[in-house]
Amino acid sequence: MTTPWSYRYAHRTKTLTSSAIRELLKLTQRPEVISFAGGLPAPELFPLERFQAACQAILSDRQRGQAALQYSTTEGYPPLREMIARHISRYGILARPENVLITSGSQQALDLIGKLLINRGDRVLVEAPTYLGALQAFNVFGPDYVSLPIDDDGIKTDELDGMLKTGIKFMYLLPNFQNPGGVTMSLKRRQRVVALSEEYGVPIVEDDPYGQLRYEGEHLPTLLALDRDNLRRDNGYDLGNVIYLSTFSKTLTPGLRLGWIVAPKEVIAKLVQLKQGADLHTSTFTQMVAHEVARGGFLDEHVHTLREVYRARRDVMLAALDESFPASTGVSWTRPAGGLFLWLRLPEGLSAQALLAVAVKANVAFVPGDAFFAEPGAGARYCRLNFSNAAPDQIQEGVRRLGQAVGQMQGEPALVLA
């Protein structure tokens, strides 16, 4: 018999929908493409020398070196858990190290949370749009999504109240500089969301990869910090309604794959069991390196630098958009106070997927909105644009090309020839 696997065993594997962003990212790897598609930090800011010193310090010490390369505990490297607990306590969160689980990027946190909480058919409330990686992680476990729209102040809490009455397993929310929307949940809405969670007993999964990357305005408290009971101990048990996620991917480097979950210790205990089945533990070596790089206040300094650089890039992108898309084009976009993305809306009749095909020919790329909605078609007119990765002159040039591509689609040959 010479039956290929794909015929012989296809019926044995689960059906997966293919990932649009994956195929896209492949296209955008050509060096001539100016890519606003990924969520990549600026690699020229990676502190290579400090990483080198950290590796040297760990590996030249026999005991530390051996520990770095050996199996370790699923919960994570204790000094790193302590560092994270200490760091977030500055923001009014009562976390102890035992409330922190180190994950292989915050993508793994989403997978573990899906595993823990989602049974097939469970209703999971998400923002519309929401982070496509969360949809991808959760999809495997078969949830039914309930989507609530966001505006410039985040999720619309007036609709949330009614929705929570209908039986929701948990809410998945990105309050800071949302991916992909670029918007930030207002303090008032944060308070309301937390109050509703408490009232209806619906837990919140708060995803906060960008919270440190604010470029203007005041830091707003996380949902975790606003949940008055959160992580407070009562009679040996932890209280709280929020499971909080963050990561080193945007503040240090993504190539280490280090994220974390902060939650009541009873939740951490269950997630630890699931993580053990998923990958035993996150690389001991990368955890020790991250700790060595971050410690002594370096991470704070480094985040300060990132804020300066990314703020400037955001401003360049916003100015370029103003220039390339005058009101007459009917294109609008969000003005993020932080993070890595803005969210652009095309005028009626224009499709983001079709625009991408034109844009890629002009060597500029972005992610079309569809991937960010649980409901097919809802994102047809939206584009996610990243402003952290490309240099300022590239951002200007990329937006110019995008303007031309839209002009071309709107039948304005003058713009195309400009």
Q: How far apart are CA 161 and CA 157, in angstroms?
A: 7
The region of 83-91, 275-283, 368-376, 399-407 touching a second copy under the rule CB under 8 A is: 275-283
- Check if the beta carbon of residue 142 is closer than 8 Å to that of residue 162: no
The kind and range of the H/E element at 212 are none
Binding to a second copy, residues 21-40 (CB under 8 A): 22, 38-40
CB closer to a second copy, 325 vs 372:
372
CB 144 within 8 Å of CB 124: yes
- Lookup result for tokens 């034109």: 358
At 290 the three-state DSSP class reads: helix
Distances in Å between the alpha carbon of 263 and those of 18, 174, 236? 32, 16, 15
- What is the nearest approach in angstroms of a second copy to the Cβ of residue 214? 22
- The rounded distance, in Å, linking the Cα atoms of 29 and 35 is 8
What's the closest the beta carbon of residue 78 comes to a second copy, in angstroms? 12
Instruction: Please tell me whether residue 218 binds a second copy under the rule CB under 8 A.
Output: no
| φ/ψ of residue 260, rounded to 5 | -155, 160
**Does 98 participate in binding a second copy (rule CB under 8 A)?**
no
Asked if 166 touches a second copy (CB under 8 A), the answer is no
Give the largest Cα separation in the chain, rounded: 72
Only segment of 16-24, 89-97, 218-226, 298-306 that touches a second copy (CB under 8 A): 16-24
Is residue 334 within 8 A of residue 183, CB to CB? The reply is: yes
Closest distance of CB 99 from a second copy, Å = 11
Closest to a second copy by CB, 263 or 367: 263
The continuous run of DSSP H or E covering 242 comes out as strand 242-247
Q: Is 266 in the site for a second copy (CB under 8 A)?
A: yes
Q: Is 162 in the site for a second copy (CB under 8 A)?
A: no
Within positions 284 to 303, which residues make up the interface with a second copy, using CB under 8 A? 284-286, 289
Q: By CB under 8 A, tell whether 366 contacts a second copy.
A: no
Interaction of residue 210 with a second copy, rule CB under 8 A:
no
Q: How far is the CB of 96 from a second copy (least distance, A)?
A: 14
Interaction between residue 339 and a second copy (CB under 8 A): no
Question: Contact with a second copy (CB under 8 A): which of 127, 206, 238, 370?
Answer: 238
- Joined together, the tokens standing for residue 141 give 């476990």
Check binding of 82 to a second copy (CB under 8 A). Answer: no
Residue selected from 23, 31, 32, 44 as contacting a second copy according to rule CB under 8 A: 44
Closest separation in Å from C-beta 147 to a second copy: 19
Residue from 37, 83, 88, 107 in contact with a second copy (CB under 8 A): 107
> Whole-number minimum distance, CB 95 to a second copy, in Å?
14
Helix (H, G, I), strand (E, B) or coil at 258: coil
Residue ranges in 50-69 that form contacts with a second copy under rule CB under 8 A: 51-52, 55-56, 59-60, 62, 65-69
Contact 175, 127 (CB under 8 A): no
Min dist. Cβ of residue 103 to a second copy (A) = 8
The 8-class DSSP code of residue 90 comes to T
**Cβ(347)–Cβ(341) under 8 Å?**
no
Q: Which stretch binds a second copy (CB under 8 A): 106-114, 210-218, 301-309, 310-318?
A: 106-114
Residue 126, token pair as written in the block: 């998400």
Please provide residue 393's backbone torsions phi and psi, each rounded to the nearest 5 degrees. Answer: -65, -30
Sole residue written with tokens 């205990």? 269
